[in-house]
């Protein structure tokens, strides 16, 4: 029995390592492809190499042919993405271009109406073309219809601020001058997003039940439940960033898992069948993620939860590592630019650290405080290179601030959900829940202000380069493998 269990665990570890190697290889392929994006017209060569490698692997049954195939596939996807973006920039060379460019744009947020100095009606909104973000500002359509999130509009104008080769920079796409116009092409997901916007507005109203209009906790509560971080004052955001706890306001696995547990409890009253509950649960989870505008952390959480629960439907044993790797590959296949998104990088690396640290601690009888400290330290360690690259700082405050911020955020999120649910039957109970959640978040804010006053809570540094980041992760991996080996020897 022991030998059979050992072989089974070894086989599972082998599958996990293959998924992890595939994720790492694909990431490396994407990075190399983006670094060589100037050669994107030569895309036929990596495609030919990919086809040749696959045929070679099938023909000669090479054991590691798939690694090279995944690497080349990542290069192809990156070059294609870069080529699409470059073609947009090359079609318009700023204000000096002789003619405007016409683009079919996917609307990312509802348009806002404003009046120009000459009194004309104008609109402004954020949109996307091939994953590239554009801020659109121009004359309102003659029929008065405003662009809504999820719709597709054709915009004609000039790209302002063009002049470098950063294909991931945010551009300002201005609709100006005679003959420039915007016209609606398709509703797309506009009707669904309009429904979700109404739901979000209704939830926001229920979260304010019983709260003082000037209460800072009201803004914190809206940010942590429905992702409206713009409601948090700028000075408070700077405090949370400096103390290393701004991540608690990102809609992530914390929020989605609490939402899932709440739905499971609700469905359990009426539905005894697990598979039926999962089939009803997953669409609601994705609607919630869409309602909060699908940030990288929410996308990762919704995808991982979907992979995890679908394993029950297909009678498979759920595996967190495989779910993580499958989510990583899927997200970066459809949105390769996430490789350079700080929110996505932190979400994936921290979750990977939490999974492995939880597994490592599972064989020991530690107290909850020691486990929480170990997970917090592990999460901080894997996030150091990302923060150093993007923000040029190392925040030591994050080592201990997460110990109270994460449990407090969990309670606040749970109370927020309770307040929304009970608001349908009792505004008094909803008021108690909302006030308690807001009070907890205000306490967290005050503690964070105290923490950042501690000397050396954060230090400013020079931006790390790629080799420094790789060296950091190699050292972490060696330390983890060392202690993992010592643990196996003791067992």
Supply the Cα-derived Rg of the chain in whole angstroms.
25
User: What burial letters (b/e) apply to 369-402, b meaning 16+ CB within 10 Å?
Assistant: eeebbbbbbbbbbbbbbbbbbbeebbbbbbbbbb
Kindly report the number of other CB atoms within 10 A of residue 8's CB atom. 10
Long-range contacts, stretch 253-256, CB < 8 angstroms, 24+ apart: 253/297, 253/300, 253/301, 253/304, 253/305, 253/351, 254/406, 254/409, 254/410, 254/413, 255/224, 255/225, 255/298, 255/301, 255/413, 256/285, 256/288, 256/289, 256/298, 256/301, 256/302, 256/305
Q: What φ, ψ does residue 161 adopt, rounded to 5°?
A: 85, 15
- Whole-model pTM? 0.80
Pairing of strands 171-174, 132-139: parallel
* pLDDT tens, residue order, the chain (491 aa): 445 544 445 555 567 888 888 888 888 888 888 877 655 555 555 555 665 666 566 555 556 677 777 888 888 888 888 777 777 766 655 544 556 777 888 888 888 888 877 777 888 888 887 777 787 877 777 777 788 888 888 887 777 654 444 555 555 666 665 556 778 877 777 778 778 888 888 888 888 888 887 778 888 888 888 877 777 888 887 888 777 777 777 777 777 777 787 777 777 667 677 777 788 888 888 888 888 877 888 888 888 888 888 887 776 777 888 889 999 999 889 888 888 888 888 888 888 888 888 877 776 666 777 777 788 888 888 888 888 888 777 877 777 777 788 888 888 888 888 888 888 888 889 899 999 998 998 898 888 888 888 877 778 778 787 788 888 888 888 887 776 665 544 44
| Rounded CA separation 27/465 (Å) | 17
CA distances for 300 relative to 208, 348, 406, angstroms: 29, 7, 19
């Amino acid at each position: 029995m022991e030998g059979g269990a050992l072989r089974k665990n070894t086989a599972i570890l082998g599958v996990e390592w293959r998924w992890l190697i595939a994720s790492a290889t694909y990431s490396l392929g994407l990075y190399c492809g983006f670094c060589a994006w100037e050669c994107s017209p030569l895309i036929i060569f990596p495609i030919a190499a990919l086809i040749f490698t696959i045929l070679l692997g099938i023909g000669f049954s090479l054991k590691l042919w798939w690694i090279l195939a995944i690497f080349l596939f990542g290069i192809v996807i990156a070059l294609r993405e870069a080529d699409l973006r470059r073609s947009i920039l090359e079609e318009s060379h700023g204000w000096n271009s002789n003619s405007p460019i016409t683009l079919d744009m996917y609307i990312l947020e509802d348009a806002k109406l404003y009046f120009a100095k000459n009194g004309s009606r104008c609109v402004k909104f954020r949109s996307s073309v091939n994953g590239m973000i554009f801020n659109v500002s121009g004359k309102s359509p003659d029929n008065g219809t405003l662009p809504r999130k999820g719709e597709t509009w054709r915009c004609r104008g000039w790209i302002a601020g063009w002049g470098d080769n950063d294909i991931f920079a945010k551009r300002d796409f201005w609709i100006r001058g005679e003959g420039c116009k915007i016209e609606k092409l398709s509703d797309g997901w506009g009707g669904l997003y309009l429904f979700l916007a109404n739901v979000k507005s209704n939830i926001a109203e229920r979260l304010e039940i019983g709260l003082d209009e000037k209460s800072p906790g009201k803004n914190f509560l809206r940010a942590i439940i429905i992702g409206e971080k713009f409601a948090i004052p700028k000075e408070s955001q700077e405090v949370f960033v400096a103390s290393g706890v701004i991540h608690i306001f990102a809609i992530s696995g914390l929020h989605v898992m609490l939402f899932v547990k709440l739905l499971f409890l609700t469905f359990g009253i009426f539905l005894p069948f697990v598979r039926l509950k999962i089939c009803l649960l997953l669409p609601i989870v994705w609607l919630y993620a869409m309602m909060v505008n699908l940030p990288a952390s929410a996308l990762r959480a919704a995808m991982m939860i979907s992979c995890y629960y679908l394993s029950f439907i297909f009678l498979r044993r759920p595996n967190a590592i495989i779910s993580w790797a499958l989510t990583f590959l899927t997200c970066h296949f459809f949105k390769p630019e996430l490789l350079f998104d700080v929110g996505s990088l932190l979400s994936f690396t921290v979750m990977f650290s939490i999974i492995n640290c939880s597994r490592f601690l599972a064989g020991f009888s530690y107290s909850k405080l020691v486990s929480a400290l170990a997970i917090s330290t592990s999460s901080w360690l894997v996030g150091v290179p990302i923060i150093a690259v993007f923000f040029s700082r190392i925040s030591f405050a994050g080592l201990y601030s997460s110990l109270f911020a994460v449990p407090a955020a969990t309670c606040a999120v749970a109370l927020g959900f309770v307040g929304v649910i009970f608001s349908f039957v009792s505004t008094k109970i909803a008021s108690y829940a909302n006030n308690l959640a807001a009070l907890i978040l205000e306490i967290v804010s005050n503690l964070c202000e105290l923490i950042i006053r501690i000397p050396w809570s954060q230090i400013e540094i020079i931006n790390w380069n790629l080799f420094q980041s790789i060296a950091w992760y190699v050292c972490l991996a060696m330390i983890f493998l060392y202690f993992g080996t010592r643990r196996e020897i003791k067992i």
